[in-house]
Chains A and B, each alone.
Chain A
C-alpha cells in the first residue's frame, strides 16, 4: 500500500475563488433589479397605520406621493405639515403639483394616475380632509391611503 503514497504527505487543495466574482455579480444584479431609489428626502415623519385589507400599489411610475406628518425638525413644531416633492407645501400647492405630475406622464397614462397619501397615524383628519377636497377639485379621484399590512389575527 505504501507504494501509492506520495512523498510530501496529504495536502487539501484550496477552494477555488475564481467563481466568486460571478456569485457577487449575481447578487449585484438581484439588488439592482429590486432596488427603488427614494426620489425625495422625507422632511416629515410618516409612520403609517396598519390595516388588514391592503392592496399592493401597482405601477409605481404612475403614483404620485403626498406626505403628511409632523416635521422631522423639532424647530418647526409638531403640527402635521404637507410635503410635496422636496419641500413643505400648502393645500393650494396641491393643484399645481397634480398638474405637473400629469404633464410628466404620457397622455394615455394620465387617467391611471394614483395619488398615494402617506400620512402619519397621529395626524388629525382635518388636514387630510382638506387634501382630499383639493384632490377632488383637481380631478385626481384615485387615491390610496398608504398603510402597512397587519398580520390577520387568527379567527
Chain B
C-alpha cells in the first residue's frame, strides 16, 4: 500500500526563472570595451643623449593648450591631419631609394615576401601636447594618425595581397606590411614648459 508520491508543483518555476532573468537584465552591461591600443616606450636611460634626426624626416604635430594644432610650425586643422600624415609617410615607389627633397629619406629593409629589399621611409611623426590640451583633442589626433597609417597599410596590402590589411590572416604577410609601413608615431618626452 505505497502512498502515491505527490508531484512537486512546477507551476512557479517560470516565476523563479523570471526573477533571475530580471536580476541579470538589470545587472548586465552589454558595452564592449573598445579603445585605441598603444605601446608606451620604456623610460629613457639617465645618460641618454638626444638622437639626432634630420629635419626632413620628422613631421611635428603640436597640440597647444587651447587645442589648436601646429604641423611643422604651421597652424593647421584636424581635418587636414590625415592627408598630411599620409603624404608624409606614404611611399609609393618602394624600389626607388631617392625621394623628393622635402620628403623623408628612405632606408633599406629586407622583406622576403616583397621580393627582397625594399626602400622604406624613415619618416617619423612626432606628437607633442601641452599639459592643458584636452583629452578629447588628443584622442582625435591619435585617431587621425592611426587612420592615416591604417589607410596606407590597406593600400599596400590590397596592392600586394589583394585584400585589406585587417583581413590578412597570414602572420608573415601581416609582418611584411608592418615592416614596410611602420607605426612611426613618436610621442615627445613630456617637459614642463615654464618649469615647476
Contacts and interface: CB of A to CB of B under 8 A. Distances in A.
Interface stretch (A7-15, A91-99, A105-113, A119-127): A119-127
Interface residues of B, number: 43
A144 B35 contact: yes
B127 to A, nearest CB: 11
Nearest to A139: B42
A135 B36 CA distance: 17
B8 interface: no
Contacts of A37: 27
Given A52-B143, A129-B190, A139-B42, A124 B134 contact: yes
Interface string A133-145: 1011101111111
Contact of B140 (A49, A132, A142): A49
A36 B30 CA distance: 8
B18 interface: yes
Interface stretch (B9-17, B45-53, B111-119, B168-176): B9-17
Contacts of B100: none
Contact of B131 (A121, A129, A136): A129
Interface string B7-49: 0001001100110110011011110111111111111000000
A24 B147 CA distance: 44
Contacts of B83: none
A136 B18 CA distance: 48
Contacts, number: 142
A63 interface: yes
Interface residues of A, number: 53
**Secondary structure type dominating chain A contacts:** mixed
**Secondary structure type dominating chain B contacts:** mixed
Interface in A34-68: 34-38, 48-49, 51-57, 60, 63
Contact of B43 (A136, A144, A149): A136
A32 interface: yes
A103 B29 CA distance: 27
A46 B29 CA distance: 15
B37 A143 contact: yes
Contacts of B138: 125, 128
Given A35-B28, A128-B138, A146-B33, 10 more contacts: A49-B136, A56-B32, A125-B63, A132-B40, A137-B43, A141-B42, A143-B39, A145-B37, A145-B142, A146-B34
Interface of B: 10, 13-14, 17-18, 20-21, 24-25, 27-30, 32-43, 63, 129-136, 138-140, 142-143, 146-147, 150, 190
23 contacts: A21-B10, A24-B18, A27-B21, A34-B30, A51-B36, A52-B143, A52-B147, A57-B33, A57-B35, A125-B63, A125-B131, A125-B132, A129-B129, A129-B131, A129-B190, A132-B40, A135-B40, A136-B42, A141-B40, A143-B38, A143-B39, A145-B36, A146-B35
Interface of A: 17, 20-21, 24-25, 27-28, 31-32, 34-38, 48-49, 51-57, 60, 63, 114, 116, 119-126, 128-129, 132-133, 135-137, 139-149
